[in-house]
Amino acid sequence: MIRTIEELVISAEKRDCKISALVRELEAKSTGSTEEELFQRMRSYFEVMKEAANRGVAGEIRSISGITGGEGRKMWNAAGTALAGSTVAKAAARAMAVSNVNASMGKIVAAPTAGSCGILPGAVLTVGEKLSKSDDEIVDSLFTASAVGRIIALNATISGAEGGCQAECGAASAMAAAAVVELAGGSPRQAAHAVAMALKAVMGLVCDPVAGLVEVPCVKRNAMGAVEAILAADMAMAGIESVIPPDEVIIAMKEVGRMMPDRLKETAMGGVAVTPTGKRLSEKI
């Protein structure tokens, strides 16, 4: 069982293969499934991600509570004139679109959680499109993302109730960053550096959902997380390295989560949840 990012990278380097290929091989051995069966299962998850993203940018989807809706569609419509460029805008749009679908009780993939469900699809769908990658290549990259998410869960947490939003959106962004590096032809070592940089960028981020719903500020944090993942991948592939190794960053995130007051961990008792507007929305809902 691979328990650290460093073990993951070294194993892939020794085999001279992508992280995704290593993950499929090891998962097949541990579960008794064939690699093809695993691939088809992951492809089914990918199809759900793609459908949610497409649905969310095609129309204005309102949440059950009514406090969010249409963010993905609006950003998608503005992608052509976005100051940050169309790639960034489309990634943000798709991330919010998936989050919109989640808030409307639609079908999504919790990768790794429902509150952070838009980050991974937003990043990989957009980068895959930009680089003219096939669906199969994008599905492959999801195995790399899953390995990163599993290691974070093993050594820290992916729960906002336990570690704050750094554990949810942070983990999702780290997963997406690694997947994007692989999609773009980067090395396992570069993927690891991207993981560290993505997670460090949101270290200490609190979980403060208004009315206890993963809508405000979660929908827009999904957009930020997808964009951050792409930038972390770009930095890593430009030769920029994280001074702090990814495994140490993961442990640091865990310790920060332990130090974080309960009021800032999904209880809706701190942050924007207790602003005057946050309280008013909560009472209204």
CB distance 118 to 79 below 8 Å: no
Contact 72, 56 (CB under 8 A): yes
CATH number of the domain encompassing residue 55: 1.10.4100
pLDDT tens digits for range 150-204: 999 999 999 999 999 999 999 999 999 999 999 999 999 999 999 999 999 999 9
Q: What's the pTM value of the predicted model, to 2 decimals?
A: 0.98
* Residue 1 token pair: 């069982």
Place of tokens 């997808």: 226
Is 8 part of a structural domain of the chain?
Answer: no
Which segments of the chain does DSSP mark as H helices, in order? 5-15, 19-31, 35-58, 71-77, 86-103, 119-130, 135-155, 160-163, 165-183, 188-201, 218-237, 246-259, 276-284
With respect to residue 3, please indicate whether it lies within any of the assigned structural domains. Answer: no
Q: Is the pLDDT of residue 245 over 90?
A: yes
- 221 in a structural domain: yes
Q: Does 7 map to a domain?
A: no
Q: What is the dihedral of CA 63, 69, 73, 75, to 10 degrees?
A: -140
In a domain, 2, yes or no: no
Residue 247 lies in a domain: yes
Closest CA relative to residue 119, chosen from 216, 198, 45, 229: 229
Q: What tens digit of pLDDT does each residue of 38-76 get?
A: 999 999 999 999 999 999 999 999 999 999 999 999 999
Domain that holds residue 262: 18-284
Burial pattern 155-171, b for ≥16 Cβ within 10 A else e, equals: ebbbbbebbbbbbbbbb
- Please report whether residue 253 resides in a domain: yes
Q: Burial of 80 by CB count in 10 Å (0-12 exposed, 13-18 middle, 19+ buried)?
A: exposed
Q: pLDDT grade, residue 1 (50/70/90)?
A: confident
- The total number of structural domains in the chain stands at 1
The reply to whether 91 falls in a domain is: yes
pLDDT at 244 over 90: yes
Q: Work out the average pLDDT over 117-124.
A: 98
